[in-house]
């Protein structure tokens, strides 16, 4: 099948099922078909780039020039990006075909893809269930067969958790491995852009293209880009796999625990070295994350003021305050959703006079302790294995008034963002009770993506055996 034929087939699949899944919020069929024809000519001539033939969707938080970049928020509902993010430039240069924009939790704040102006995305395996979040549209699009791969963003698990819920591969690179230029910021010291795909090798191929130094992002590392595809073909013999006690305790579904422990046994039988280890400050990760990430969100989202771009209130309420202050308040009240408002207010509170040291300052010190836990663990092992979430995908609407229960879905993923390390979610089978996908997570030290990909690819080999 030629590339234009494949792209056309994907649009047929989107027309047939996106109405119920709600993964894509905008598609660009005419432009994508024209690009597919152009890339096919390069393929025929032998001049195509490394991602030629790969059909991709983009999370609606990454800038594409001339495309609406709404972040699934009313405050940016009609905002048209004026430049391409660095990752978009690199995908285009590698001849990937980009076909549309993907649903998400508003400003990447959520674990279920229920907080969106476009309505919830649904899990293709069970439409009554969430796909995870915030990159729920990215994961659901791959799982539903709408495209080969997608880009998402991961601030506390937002690539890995939906990948686990939808039964696809989701890779969070090390902080600084991939440029954030053109990613609308949620929490700048946590955010990472990463691929979601059907196979580990596909994610490795995408990472080789989008990783690397970028003059537009001063936090982007100058370390050489690894040979990630080659790493997926390496044996795991001698690979040291750490099993953290804290990630297999109370609250974890027993069937998920059993499935991952079966994988640990298989890895050992295939030549890996299993290393029990501890991450003693894991219990503080959720609280630490929701102090620091919301503080950064409060600062980052201050730019959406109804003045420079985005939504501006048409009618101001009466009041004693200046018209400018009332414009700020009304525009933000109308434009932001409930979850985003909640996190802005929490972040503003922990940064306020009298509370900064008690909350923000203390959380930064705990973050350092969590980073030190991982350093000690990686002195003994190469990768860590863990669940992705305590359960499989939960029903839509299950946690509307219980934010703590919702936040606990990220209990196994948040620490990687706090520590700046890399992580990946790989399908590990299905749950015997509900038939939904179970994901297994591997984490490796910063800029050790090769170790991560070695372990992840072996899970695929075990599944296929």
User: Which active-site residues does the annotation give?
Assistant: 59, 134, 158
Give the SS3 label for residue 164. helix
Spatial CA neighbour of 284 closest among 358, 369, 405, 346: 369
Please, which residues have CB within 8 angstroms of residue 255's CB and are 6 or more apart in sequence?
431, 432, 433, 438
117 with 337: CB under 8 angstroms? yes
Q: How many CB atoms lie under 10 A from the CB of residue 379?
A: 9
Quote the tokens at residue 178. 């991939």
Q: How far apart are the first and last CA of the chain?
A: 28
> Where does 179-271 show beta strands of DSSP type E?
192-197, 240-244
225 with 212: CB under 8 angstroms? yes
Calpha distance 33→56 (Å, rounded)? 13
Please, which residues have CB within 8 angstroms of residue 91's CB and are 6 or more apart in sequence?
51, 56, 98, 151, 206, 209, 210
**Chain position carrying tokens 């595809």:** 229
Strand partners, 422: 444
């Amino acid at each position: 099948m030629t590339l234009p034929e494949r792209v056309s087939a994907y649009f047929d699949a989107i027309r047939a099922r996106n109405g119920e899944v709600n993964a894509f919020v905008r598609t660009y069929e005419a432009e994508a078909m024209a690009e597919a024809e152009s890339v096919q000519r390069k393929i025929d001539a032998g001049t195509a780039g490394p991602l030629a033939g790969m059909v991709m969707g983009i999370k609606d938080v990454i800038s594409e020039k001339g495309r609406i970049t709404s972040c699934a928020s009313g405050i940016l509902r009609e905002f048209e990006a004026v430049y391409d993010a660095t990752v978009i430039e690199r995908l285009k240069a590698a001849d990937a075909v980009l076909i549309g924009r993907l649903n998400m939790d508003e400003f990447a704040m959520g674990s279920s893809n229920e907080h969106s102006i476009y309505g919830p995305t649904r899990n293709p395996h069970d439409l009554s269930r969430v796909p995870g979040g915030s990159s729920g549209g990215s994961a659901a699009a791959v799982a539903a067969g709408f495209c080969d791969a997608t880009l998402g963003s991961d601030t506390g698990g937002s690539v890995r958790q939906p990948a686990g819920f939808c039964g696809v591969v989701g890779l969070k690179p090390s902080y600084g491995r991939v440029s954030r230029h053109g990613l609308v910021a949620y929490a700048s010291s946590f955010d990472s852009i990463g691929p979601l795909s059907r196979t580990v090798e596909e994610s490795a191929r995408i990472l080789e293209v989008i990783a690397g130094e970028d003059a537009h992002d001063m936090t982007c590392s100058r370390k050489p880009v690894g040979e990630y595809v080659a790493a997926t073909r390496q044996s795991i013999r001698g690979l040291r796999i750490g099993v953290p006690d804290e990630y297999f305790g109370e609250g974890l579904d027993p069937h998920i625990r059993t499935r991952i422990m079966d994988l640990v046994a298989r890895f050992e039988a295939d030549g890996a070295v299993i290393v029990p280890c501890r991450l003693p400050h894991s219990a503080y990760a959720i609280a630490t994350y929701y102090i620091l990430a919301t503080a950064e969100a409060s600062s980052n989202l201050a730019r959406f003021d109804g003045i420079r771009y985005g939504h501006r209130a048409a009618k101001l309420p009466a009041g004693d305050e200046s018209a400018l202050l009332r414009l700020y308040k009304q525009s933000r009240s109308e434009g932001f959703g409930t979850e985003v408002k909640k996190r802005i207010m929490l972040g503003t509170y922990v940064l306020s006079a009298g509370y900064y040291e008690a909350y923000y300052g203390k959380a930064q010190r705990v973050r350092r302790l969590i980073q030190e836990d991982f350093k000690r663990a990686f002195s003994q092992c190469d990768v860590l294995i863990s669940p992705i979430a305590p359960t499989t995908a939960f029903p839509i609407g299950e946690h509307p008034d219980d934010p703590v229960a919702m936040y606990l879905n990220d209990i196994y993923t948040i620490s990687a963002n706090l520590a700046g390390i890399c992580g990946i979610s790989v399908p590990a089978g299905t749950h015997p009770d509900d038939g939904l996908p179970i994901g297994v997570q591997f984490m490796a030290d910063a800029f050790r993506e090769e170790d991560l990909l070695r372990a992840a690819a072996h899970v695929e080999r075990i599944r296929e055996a």
